[in-house]
């Protein structure tokens, strides 16, 4: 008679179970950390892009007003509110344009750019025959500082203005800033 040795039945030993649980736990922790850091970096990058985009939009809008402007005005009244050009307020006189983009002789639109708290605004008072549309537009909501510097203290002689803007946004506990400065020339001065 032949005896066949009994093969032990295969099951997990305690040490194998502990190793598998330890490995699985390590993998779950690693996956959790990767997800956490990915979300943190994504939030940081989105906020940085928002802050930088806000500064770019503001500079583009101001440039589109300064370039065709005829003069920086010392003061102008917009809907009953008097604005005065200072280091934080820019008041411009811009030749009006018709629907084809041609300048309308002796007709002007008026614009003011200013910051209030963390927001920057552009107010436009367009002549009735102008293509431009009157109104107030929020240009940014992340302003830390907005400073205008003029090349002459006599506003009738100002031909360039330097715009310095700083934006600030928060990504969780991190503060992100963007700083832009540009000298802009009044083409029609």
pLDDT digits (tens, 9 = 90+) for 95-104: 999 999 899 9
Q: CB under 8 Å to 144, separation ≥6 — which residues?
A: 118, 166, 167, 168, 177
Domain residue ranges in the chain: 42-185
Q: Is the pLDDT of residue 50 over 80?
A: no
Quick one: tokens of 181? 């400065």
pLDDT band of 24, cuts 50, 70, 90 = very high
pTM for the whole thing?
0.76
- 1 versus 155: which is more confidently predicted? 155
Q: pLDDT value at position 95? A: 96
- 177 versus 149: which is more confidently predicted? 149
Q: pLDDT value at position 9? A: 64
Q: Is the pLDDT of residue 183 over 90?
A: yes
Residue (of 124, 121, 60) closest to 92 by Cα position: 124
Q: Is the pLDDT of residue 182 over 80?
A: yes
Section 138-154 average pLDDT: 94
Please give the backbone phi and psi of residue 63, each rounded to the nearest 5 degrees, phi first.
-60, -40
% the chain with pLDDT above 70:
94
Please give the backbone phi and psi of residue 80, each rounded to the nearest 5 degrees, phi first.
85, -5
Secondary structure string (H, E, C) spanning the chain: CCCCCCCCCCCCCHHHHHHHHHHHHHHHHHHHHHHHHHHHHHHHHHHHHHHHHHHHHHHHHHHHHHCCCCEECCEEEECCEEEECCCCEEEEEEEEECCCCCEEEEEEEEEEEEEECCEEEEEEECCCCCCCCCEEEEEECCEEEEEEEECCCCHHHCCEEEEEEEEEEEECCEEEEEEEEEEEECCCC
Q: Is the pLDDT of residue 152 over 70?
A: yes
Residue (of 118, 109, 62) closest to 90 by Cα position: 62
């Amino acid at each position: 008679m032949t005896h066949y040795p009994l093969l032990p039945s295969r099951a997990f030993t305690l040490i194998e179970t502990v190793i598998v649980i330890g490995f699985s736990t390590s993998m779950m922790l690693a996956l959790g950390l990767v997800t956490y850091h990915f979300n943190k970096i994504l939030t940081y990058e989105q906020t940085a892009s928002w802050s930088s985009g806000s500064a770019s939009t503001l500079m583009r809008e101001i440039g589109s007003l300064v370039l065709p402007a005829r003069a920086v005005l010392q003061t102008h009244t917009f809907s009953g509110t008097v604005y005065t050009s200072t280091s934080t307020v820019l008041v411009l006189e811009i030749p009006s344009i018709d629907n084809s983009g041609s300048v309308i002789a002796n007709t002007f639109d008026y614009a003011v750019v200013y910051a209030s708290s963390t927001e920057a605004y552009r107010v436009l008072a367009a002549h009735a025959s102008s293509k431009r549309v009157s109104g107030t537009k929020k240009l940014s909501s992340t302003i830390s500082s907005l400073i205008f510097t003029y090349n002459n203290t006599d506003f009738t002689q100002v031909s360039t203005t330097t715009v310095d803007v700083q934006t600030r946004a928060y990504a969780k506990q991190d503060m992100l800033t963007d700083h832009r400065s540009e000298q802009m020339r009044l083409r029609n001065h």
